[in-house]
Each structure stands twice: as C-alpha cells, then as structure tokens.
Structure 1
C-alpha cells in the first residue's frame, strides 16, 4: 500500500448538488484502497487560514450516507480572495501565506480542491507560491469550466430548471399567459439552452446570442396564429437588455449580483404584444436538493480519479469528463478559457431546428 499519506479536501465557491458525493468517493478510495488519512477542511481556504486550522477527520462511516445529500458538509464560501482579503477595517490584506502555513501545520501531503474556474485559479496560485501538492475537481452549475464536458452540479441544475418549465407549462396554458423563467448561469447560457430544449420552451435567451423584443413578440404572434395563446420563455440571468445594458446589483457586502432580466422582458413583452406575463426567478433552488444520478456518477468518478492522481504523484492537474471517460489536464489549461455556449453548437442548431426563438 506504500506510505500513509495525509490528504485534505475542501469545497470552494458556490455550493451545488454532488459535492458531498465527491467527498464520499475521495474518502472511500483514499482510505479503502490506500489506507490514507483524509482531513475535511472547513469553509474552503478559510479553514486553513484559521488558527488552529479548522478541519474534520473523515472516515468511511462519516461519509457513507453522503451520496444523495445536497450542499457540502464541509461548508464553503465564495467571498474573500486570500490575496486581497477584506478585513473588518476595510483594508485588503494578502493572507495567502497563512493558508499555505495551515496546509503545512496539518502535515498534508496533498490537497483536493473542488471548485469552479475562479476557485481553481486561486488554489493553483496558492499551490505554486507555497509548493502545495494540488489536484482539482470541477464543480459549477454554470458548466463554464473548459476542457470537461460536464462539471458537478450542472445536470441537477438543468433538471431543476426543466421541472420548473414543465410546471409552468400548465399554468401558462390555463391562463393564456407568457411565463418567463429566469435561471442562473453567470455569463454562460448552458443551463438556459439545455433546460429550454428539454422543457419545451418557445423562446430561449442566452448571453451569447443577441435578440430583439420585436422578434420575440413576432414569435408569440406566430404561436397565436397557430391557435396557441400561451408561451414559455427561459432566460439566463446574464442576458442584457435589448440596448446592451446589464441588469445587476451589488449587495451590502459589495458582491456583484445578476438579477432582473426576467422582469425587464415581461414589461417589454407586455407592451409590444399585449400578452399577460408572469415571471419566475428560480434562483438558488437550482443549487440545492438531491443530486441527479449523473451528478452522483460524475462525483464518484472524479473523486476516485483525483485520489489516484495523488497516488501516482501527478499534481497541478484537474480531472474532467470527455468522450465517456475521466481525463486529467493541467489546471492552467483547464482555466485558460471561459467556456460559453457556441452559437453554432449542436444544441443551438437543435433549438433553431425545433422552431425555438434563440435570438439572432
């Protein structure tokens, strides 16, 4: 079995379904196959920043029932870049060395970081600066990490958005309304286009493809002429107004937030078409709940593969999914490009082929 290693695992950035399934897989593989010790780091890098470092010893019994649990038992945060960490007095302080020291205080041989492109960029910078042995696993409901075809959390988010469209369909038909569903996705429209096709939307709006209110209303009139006096619209939160303005806000902590494009569209559609409109903002419902079977499978495969990379001494790599198998690539390569929807992709062509208004 070789030497007994001590490895850490942390979840960073926004939560999503499937994180606990990754933790479970890592513990099963690390302890069950290699006889290692696994420490769960609390609240992402903040656990390593604390003194003493905050962690939970993990064993198979503790994680055995985590496969179907949503969220993350380790806690997470998407605030506080350690290289410019906001202090109570308003100052931004570089606390990276504290995190590096926390890794060494725990006597870790390696650490597995589960996060999106932003989290991975920070973790890699810490690893490069402090000589940490790092392997990463992609998770984001936005599915915007390059190289991997799927990130953990995406499939569950699409399932949730699709179910919402299924439910809104009947209300729309009953009241002859235009129902607008606003979904997450940051600056990429993967959730909207996937759920829109799966949920039978009539209009799909994503940040990557421009649209006009006139053409949306034209699509609604076309349906009315066909005897269909209701419609479903799904829109990604990062879609801008017709004139190119971003609808967003800043919360009291200074965090940037998208939100409001659904209501903007409802107002514009009501004016140009006379249709009665209603808006549903799905919000964080997309992040929570029981992970889908696909997210459980990916989480399990990624967790096992990440541990095996450590066993092989292969660091500074991200595991991913391509061509129906797990791969690993340099982290720098995985985060070099932001993965958005290609306007000429198969899904875009499929939407147009089904008569869905996709913009243009």
Structure 2
C-alpha cells in the first residue's frame, strides 16, 4: 500500500450532474477507510495558481445527502486558461504549468484525483508527468465521448433531460401540426441526440457521425403526413454541420465562439421546402444542470471509491472506467487518445433504423438481417 497521508481532488472542464456525488464518495473512502486528509482544490487548476493555493479541507459530516442530489460542483471549475498557453494581461500567452505544480507541492499532497473530460485529463496528465504528480482520473462528460469507458458522469442526466424535452414537445407539435426541432449538446459526438431521440420517439435524429440530405429529411416529413401524422419531432446534435459541411457557430462576448444554430438552419430550410410550420428549441445548459439521475449518482459514487482505492494501491496514471457492468481501470493515455463517436454499426443506430427513424442519410439504408 502506498504511503499516503493527504490527497487533493478537483473538478475540471464543463460542469455536469454527479460531480458532487463523486467528491462525496472520495471523502468517505479516504477518511473512513484510510484515514487520509482530503483537500478540495478550488476552480480546478486555477486554485493551484493562487498563492497561497485555494482549497477546501474536506471532512466527513454526519449528513451529506445534499451532495448526492446537488448539481454542478461545489468546488468550482473552469474550462478556460490552458496552463501551457495561459492568457496573460498583456494579451500574450504564457506557460504557467510550473506554478500549478508548485501549488500542488505547497499543499503537501501525495496524490491528486482529477475529474474531467478528454481535454481536462490531457492537461492534467501532462502536468502530472512534468511535475511528479501522482494522478488518478475520473471520467465526466455529458457528451459521453471519452474513450475506454462505456459511461461517464453526467451523461445519463443529460439524456434524461433531453428525453423529457422531447416528450413535452410531442404534445405541442401535435396540437399545432408543427415540425418541432430540439437542438441538444454534442460537441463532437451524437450520443445524447440518438439516445434521447430513440427514448423520446423522435421521427428524425441527426448526429455529426452521419451525413444527411435535406431532401431526405423533407421526404420523410412528407411521408409522415401521407400516413396521417401531421407533425414531426426532430432532435439534432449541435455539432451537426450544414449541407456544405460547415459547423454552425455564433460569436459571443469576449471573442468566444460557440457551436449552435443548426436547429434554426434546419427549420428555415424545412419550412421553405415543405411549407411546414416549424419551431426550434435549443436546450443548451439545461442539460448540464439539475438533480443527478440515480444512475449518475451510482456511477459517480462507484468511480469515487475506485479512484481512491487506486491511490491506496499506488497505481497512478490510471482512469477508472465502466466496462461490462463493473468499474475497472485503464491507462489515462488510452482514454484520451481518441474520442468515442457513435458506432455506426452499433445497437443504437440499428435500433433507430429498425424503428423507422430517419437519420437523414441520402439513401435509405437496408436493415441487416
């Protein structure tokens, strides 16, 4: 067993439901089983840049149920400020990685648990290798596109919220004979869209992994009308491109560029081509918030316990992972080496086609026997 007395934990990247449950599990296991001190680092690596470093001493309390059901992260997080190319006051970028490493050592930490997605974990691993940090990782991303794990914290809650939105849109679409389009998150992958689309009985699902044809979509809507269904429900991932292969983005303040707008692009084209009354709902950050689903609470708790045990065993540079109905661990390097796209030959795509859901493909794809 490793000689451990004090560990740190941080949440990095975008927030999601279940983060607090993971921190809660780490504290339970570290304090009750191993007798360690636990420091919660404020605002991810930004807390380690401060002098003195910003942290919360985390201790067991008699009743911490609220952490199971509380969304977001009470430690705070950030998805800006890569420490290897950190924005400086004079407009340049600088390498502040050594400051973060120094902050880790100033706190007297023997190991660090990082909860993040592919981008955050890549940065944390680089810091760990450079600064001799004993790192263990927990996967979280509502997009569920991190490699080497079937499940990441936050995904199930996001799918639940998107499915509820699809359910609600059915009623108003039917009442007004409209085409209702729901735009959901999915920076590179369409896991939320295809999962919520099938669960919510959508008529059309568009994901970035499958090229679509506007003619095919409009033909499907016309076919639905011919069969007696005078409305349609479409769900689309924000990373789906226009027909020219260009991602739809919009400019925010502070020169930030964000994905978004494909729902309105599709609505305009559908209305023009079919004459259908079309409305768009952009779900946005609602998918990240709210009470974690039972499955996300369970996953986060199991991950927190397993990550703490890895530290006790002295097994670092590892990420806990959900595979074949249990928690295992894999090298962080393998998890961040590639993102996990929707499998075009997988169960969900086959199921969608079998249910007559249009995936936008220019040519109808025959079902495999």
C-alpha distance in 2, partners of 1:203/1:193? 10
Task: Determine the structure 2 residue equivalent to 1:45.
Answer: 45
Q: Any gaps of 5 or more consecutive residues in structure 1? A: none
Task: Determine the structure 1 residue equivalent to 2:149.
Answer: 148
- Residues 19-50 of structure 1 show CA distances to partners (whole Å, capped at 9, x for unaligned) of 00000000000001111000000000000011
**Which secondary structure does the structure 1 equivalent of 2:68 belong to?**
coil
Q: Any gaps of 5 or more consecutive residues in structure 2? A: 362-369
How far the C-alpha of 1:64 sits from its partner, in A, is 4.6
Residues 1-360 of structure 1 aligned to structure 2 (within 5 Å) = 5-61=5-61, 63-360=64-361
How far the C-alpha of 1:89 sits from its partner, in A, is 1.6
C-alpha distance in 2, partners of 1:207/1:4? 45
- Residues 48-70 of structure 1 show CA distances to partners (whole Å, capped at 9, x for unaligned) of 01100000000111845301100
**Which secondary structure does the structure 1 equivalent of 2:10 belong to?**
strand
C-alpha distance in 2, partners of 1:319/1:156? 20
Contact (CA 8 Å) 1:6, 1:38: kept in 2 or not? yes
**Which secondary structure does the structure 1 equivalent of 2:212 belong to?**
coil
C-alpha distance in 2, partners of 1:251/1:96? 28
- Residues 202-243 of structure 1 show CA distances to partners (whole Å, capped at 9, x for unaligned) of 000000001111110111111101110000000000000012
RMSD after superposition: 1.2
- Residues 166-222 of structure 1 show CA distances to partners (whole Å, capped at 9, x for unaligned) of 000000000000000000010100000000000000000000001111110111111
TM-score for the superposition, normalised by structure 2: 0.96
- Residues 114-160 of structure 1 show CA distances to partners (whole Å, capped at 9, x for unaligned) of 00000000000000000000000000000000110010000000000
Contact (CA 8 Å) 1:173, 1:229: kept in 2 or not? yes
Moved more, 338-347 or 142-151: 338-347
C-alpha distance in 2, partners of 1:68/1:17? 8
C-alpha distance in 2, partners of 1:102/1:221? 61
Contact (CA 8 Å) 1:43, 1:75: kept in 2 or not? yes
**Which secondary structure does the structure 1 equivalent of 2:75 belong to?**
coil
C-alpha distance in 2, partners of 1:331/1:3? 22
C-alpha distance in 2, partners of 1:198/1:339? 21
**Which secondary structure does the structure 2 equivalent of 1:320 belong to?**
strand
- Residues 61-105 of structure 1 show CA distances to partners (whole Å, capped at 9, x for unaligned) of 184530110000000000000000001221101000000000000
Moved more, 167-176 or 59-68: 59-68
Contact (CA 8 Å) 2:88, 2:94: kept in 1 or not? yes
Q: Please list every run of at least 4 consecutive aligned residues from structure 1 whose deviation after the TM superposition is greater than 2 angstroms.
A: 1-4, 62-65, 249-256
Contact (CA 8 Å) 2:2, 2:311: kept in 1 or not? no
C-alpha distance in 2, partners of 1:229/1:245? 31
C-alpha distance in 2, partners of 1:2/1:187? 38
**Which secondary structure does the structure 2 equivalent of 1:65 belong to?**
helix
How far the C-alpha of 1:250 sits from its partner, in A, is 3.5
How far the C-alpha of 1:3 sits from its partner, in A, is 5.2
Moved more, 251-260 or 329-338: 251-260
Contact (CA 8 Å) 2:181, 2:280: kept in 1 or not? yes
Contact (CA 8 Å) 1:27, 1:63: kept in 2 or not? no
**Which secondary structure does the structure 1 equivalent of 2:9 belong to?**
strand
How far the C-alpha of 1:244 sits from its partner, in A, is 1.1
**Which secondary structure does the structure 2 equivalent of 1:75 belong to?**
coil
Q: How many residues align?
A: 360
- Residues 224-276 of structure 1 show CA distances to partners (whole Å, capped at 9, x for unaligned) of 01110000000000000012121113433343310000000000000111100
